[in-house]
Amino acid sequence: MDAVQELPDRELLTRHAQGDDQAFAVLVRRHRERLWAVAVRMMGDPEEASDALQDAFLSAFRAADRFRGESQVSTWMHRIVVNACHDRLRRRKVRPATPTEDSTLDVMSNERLGRMGGAPDHASQTEARMDVHAALELLPLDQRMALTLVDMLGYRVEEAAEILDVASGTVKSRCARGRAKLLPSLAHLRNPQHPGDVTTGRGGANPS
């Protein structure tokens, strides 16, 4: 029985709630890469993703005894991470002097750099990333979170619905609205710069 590593998620969580010192760390190690990917894409910034993950894991640590088992443990952890990100994003929206503006500035300075001929490859890559996140900042949080899970991270609509605790149809319509809103800011990422790879046929990336 020394194989704590091999216990199922649910058992680990139960042991943690009962006072086991190791179980939670095992659980976190098992899921953290995935949850990091969620957080870093939600937040658009490693520093903030790290903060959000810390919030989330500590709150999961303390809330373990309230896990009722209606969902998978991993879904429950996703939900906590997503909520932690949501809280931070909301605060960021309220408080204007934030990395949002910094990244906009970065985009501008990168553009300038690019025009001046400095490190064009790196600059344009950075610019593309900044553009995606700057564009995401324009969306309502609900749409942003749905798009992050479904389009950026490839979660099935049903999974995203469970994580966000809404109906599948709601996830789909949030994604649709979000894509429509992002179209003006993101269409250029493909078309003008890479005229060669336009169009893979409609519906290709939207199987759901």
Partner 1 sequence: MTSHPDVEALAFFAEELLEPDEERTVASHIDTCATCASTLDELTGVGEALAAAPAPAMPRDVADLLDRRIAEAVRERAAESPARDDAAPAAGAPASGATVVPLSRRRRRGHGPGFMPKLMMVAAAAVVIGGGGAAVFNGMLSPAADQSSGVAAPLQEEGGGEAAPEAAQSYTPQVVRSETVYTDASLPEQAALTLDRSPVGGAPSSEGVEPMAPVEPVPAGVEECALLLGEEFGTRFTLVDDASYGDGGSRAWVLFAPRGERYEVYVVDPRCAQGGDTAKSVLDQGTVQAP
> Site residues (CB under 8 A) for partner 1?
17-21, 24-25, 28, 32-33, 36-37, 40-41, 46, 49-50, 53-54, 57-58, 61-62, 64-66, 125, 128-129, 132-133, 147-148, 151-152, 154, 169, 172-173, 175-177, 179-180, 182-183, 186-187, 189-191, 198-206, 208
Q: Which of 83, 148 has the CB closer to partner 1?
A: 148
Tell me the two tokens of residue 142: 């609900």
Q: Work out how close the CB of 49 gets to partner 1 at its nearest, in angstroms, rounded to a whole number.
A: 8
Estimate the share of the chain in helix, then strand, then coil, as percent rounded to the nearest 5. Answer: 75, 0, 25
Q: Which of 66, 95 has the CB closer to partner 1?
A: 66
Q: Cα 173 from chain centroid?
A: 18
Q: Work out how close the CB of 15 gets to partner 1 at its nearest, in angstroms, rounded to a whole number.
A: 9
The residue assigned the tokens 């609509």 is 157
**Residues 6+ away with beta carbon under 8 Å from 124:** 110, 114, 193
Q: Work out how close the CB of 96 gets to partner 1 at its nearest, in angstroms, rounded to a whole number.
A: 24
CA–CA separation, 99 and 2 (whole Å): 45
Q: Which of 18, 109 has the CB closer to partner 1?
A: 18
Give DSSP secondary structure letters for 101-146: HHHHHHHHHHHHHHHTTSSHHHHHHHHHHHHHHHHHHTS-HHHHHH
Q: Which of 65, 116 has the CB closer to partner 1?
A: 65
Q: Work out how close the CB of 111 gets to partner 1 at its nearest, in angstroms, rounded to a whole number.
A: 18
